[in-house]
Structure 1
Amino acid sequence: MTTQALNLRLGSAPDSWGVWFPEDDRQLPYEQFLDELAGSGYEWLELGPYGYLPTDPEVLSEEVAKRGLKVSGGTVFGNLHTPEKFEATVATVSKVAKLTASQGAKHVVFIPPLFRDEKTDAINDVTEWDAGQWKTVHAAANRIGKQMFEEYGVTIALHPHADCQIMTQPQIETFLDGTDSDYVSLCLDTGHVAYGGGDNIDLIRRYSERIGYVHIKQMDPAILQQVRDESLGFGEAVKRGVCVEPPAGVPNPADIVAELSKLDAELFVIVEQDLYPCEPDVPFPIAVRTRKYLNGCGLGARHQQA
């Protein structure tokens, strides 16, 4: 019999329905996403790109509540390494933090901007930060984290991402080692850690107190090899199907759930299978199969339907 991970709460996100942008003619309407999210057996919802779901707190609350859903957190892209963009980043994060807090959620997933264009894969920024830029990043993250906590009661969870300067395990560790654990946590995205060649289990064990939120996903090892051999961008890798549903791919979701279940912390574990772009009938059956598989690993069955 599978042991239930009672400290973990399972949810999903617009990303798993092929949603990367606030508006895009290749994405499905938000009403369909919410209907299918609830219909596939999930209880918790991450908000996704600001502007895809309603940004009026009352409208959002109504749309979420009438489907029996609850909000786990918000998501935002923000620049930490360019001082002249700091105030704009604070303003953007504040909008998301305010909306997230209005829904009773306490986590804002913060993603640095990618150094490749998401649609063309063209490199448009430095791919590695020097010591001076890292100092700027640490200071900016600490300031933003403190401000968001004091103003909205939310914690910033830094999300390592393919094609950004916090992608490899050494980069993740450099970020964590230079930031304040009171205000800045790690959103452990298991797929992006694997994409960057990192070891999820090692991070969970050595940085357990810094993990504040989790995205669970798996990557196809064969396509990861193509990424390295051909220097592919993440957009192209997704089109080739790098992000796969469990139990395929790496890391093994059951191993991740087992390790997270040992932590003395309550964590949201949000399914994110990058599917942009995809046909509108593709995500729902994947979401159902994924939820059932993760339930079988001891994740979410206590909170979700069997």
Structure 2
Amino acid sequence: MTIRWGVSPIAWANDDMPELGGDTTLDALLTDVKEIGFEGVELGNKFPRDPGTLKPVMARYGLDIVGGWYSSNLLVHDADAEIEAMAGHMDLLKAMGSTVFILAETSNAVHSDREGGRLDSPPRLAAGDWAMFGQRLNRVAAHANDQGMRFAYHHHLGTVVETGEDLNRFFDATGDHVGLVLDTGHAVYGGIDPVEVATTRPERISHVHCKDVRTDRYAQFRAAGDSFLNGVVGGMFTTPGDGDYDYPAFMAALKAIDYSGWIVIEAEQDPALADPREYGQLGLDTLKRLAGDVGLV
């Protein structure tokens, strides 16, 4: 079993709110990532997208590119069009030696709408549309797998795969080759038990994102009809070890299914209020200790 430890750059520089960490340089970000002790980092808005430029940068720090978010539009166009649209992203990941392709459907998503994207009003997919969506995902995932990538669909607040019911429909509509990013923070707030998903659908777990939750804050933002991004700025997420989630049980569940792959730590917060280096170190130290306790590493 091989566990590799990665981090999302979102704690340093937020893709949906570029003003958060806008002055942070890629050098400062990667210096922190390396010195904290991570092996790899996902792509973010500070990263050049040309492999000829990015490769020497990453080599300088001795870090791998784990993967990076790709926004799909499969409710709008078919699988062939999506495969063509994602070719540049795929080529970059392959050139960088990445083994995971992370995708989320965003054609009708509201998570990036700070003013109008209410936490209590996520988009829903009509029952009759799941078969079409699933067929298109099946094709796109098969293409990614054929390219040597581990396909990983990212369930996410404010998208069509948010709740437990959504996730079950997703599983029913797609084949086992359509893997999942199991994201603890988005799972908990979507009413999904990450341990149950790992236990009952181990064949689907392609990639793992670990962020912690402050459930009281989330409940306040949701009750007020506030947005996902305002919740992020307001601290509804934090790093593992600083919130409410039962990470010992989750690490034990990953051990029980012999999970092998990346565990990526996220601390989706305002870097001006939550120092990303401090929180990144806490998250890595916490999960490494817990993984050691259960024999995951």
Q: TM-score, normalised by structure 1?
A: 0.86
Shift of 1:185: 0.1
| SS of equivalent to 2:61 | coil
Structure 2 vs 1, CA of residues 46 and 88 (structure 1 numbering), >3 Å: closer, same or farther? same
In 1, distance between residues paired with 2:96 and 2:69?
Answer: 13
In 2, distance between residues paired with 1:271 and 1:130?
Answer: 33
* Partner residue of 1:197 out of 169, 175, 191: 191
Q: What are the Cα deviations for residues 180-225 of structure 1, in whole angstroms up to 9, with x where unaligned?
A: 222x100000100011111111111000111010001111010121
* Partner residue of 1:54 out of 48, 64, 68: 48
CA contact (8 A) 1:94 1:148 kept: no
Query: What's the counterpart of residue 40 of structure 2?
Result: 44
In 2, distance between residues paired with 1:195 and 1:122?
Answer: 19
In 2, distance between residues paired with 1:88 and 1:122?
Answer: 29
Shift of 1:88: 5.3
Query: What's the counterpart of residue 133 of structure 1?
Result: 129
Shift of 1:248: 3.0
CA contact (8 A) 1:75 1:96 kept: no
Query: What's the counterpart of residue 146 of structure 1?
Result: 142
Q: Which moved more, 1:129-138 or 1:109-118?
A: 109-118
CA contact (8 A) 1:191 1:250 kept: no
In 2, distance between residues paired with 1:281 and 1:260?
Answer: 28
In 2, distance between residues paired with 1:155 and 1:245?
Answer: 25
Shift of 1:70: 1.6
Query: What's the counterpart of residue 166 of structure 1?
Result: 161
Runs of at least 4 residues off by over 6 Å: none
In 2, distance between residues paired with 1:70 and 1:61?
Answer: 9
Q: Could you tell me which amino acid in structure 1 is paired with residue 94 of structure 2?
A: A
**Cα RMSD after superposing both structures:** 2.7
1:215 matches 2:209: yes
* Partner residue of 1:266 out of 237, 260, 266: 260
Unaligned stretches of 5+ residues in structure 2: none
Query: What's the counterpart of residue 3 of structure 1?
Result: none
* Partner residue of 1:294 out of 278, 287, 290: 287
CA contact (8 A) 1:220 1:250 kept: yes
Query: What's the counterpart of residue 180 of structure 1?
Result: 175
Shift of 1:281: 7.9
In 1, distance between residues paired with 2:140 and 2:5?
Answer: 27
Q: Could you tell me which amino acid in structure 1 is paired with residue 41 of structure 2?
A: L
In 2, distance between residues paired with 1:297 and 1:214?
Answer: 15
Query: What's the counterpart of residue 84 of structure 2?
Result: 91
CA contact (8 A) 2:14 2:20 kept: no
Q: Which moved more, 1:63-72 or 1:291-300?
A: 291-300
In 2, distance between residues paired with 1:215 and 1:126?
Answer: 21
Shift of 1:242: 0.3
- Identical counterparts, % of pairs: 23
Query: What's the counterpart of residue 96 of structure 2?
Result: 103
| SS of equivalent to 1:73 | coil
1:244 matches 2:238: yes
Matched positions, count: 292
CA contact (8 A) 1:12 1:37 kept: yes
| SS of equivalent to 2:262 | strand
Structure 2 vs 1, CA of residues 185 and 295 (structure 1 numbering), >3 Å: closer, same or farther? same
CA contact (8 A) 1:81 1:134 kept: no
In 2, distance between residues paired with 1:96 and 1:280?
Answer: 32
* Partner residue of 1:78 out of 62, 72, 78: 72
Shift of 1:61: 1.6
Q: Could you tell me which amino acid in structure 1 is paired with residue 272 of structure 2?
A: E
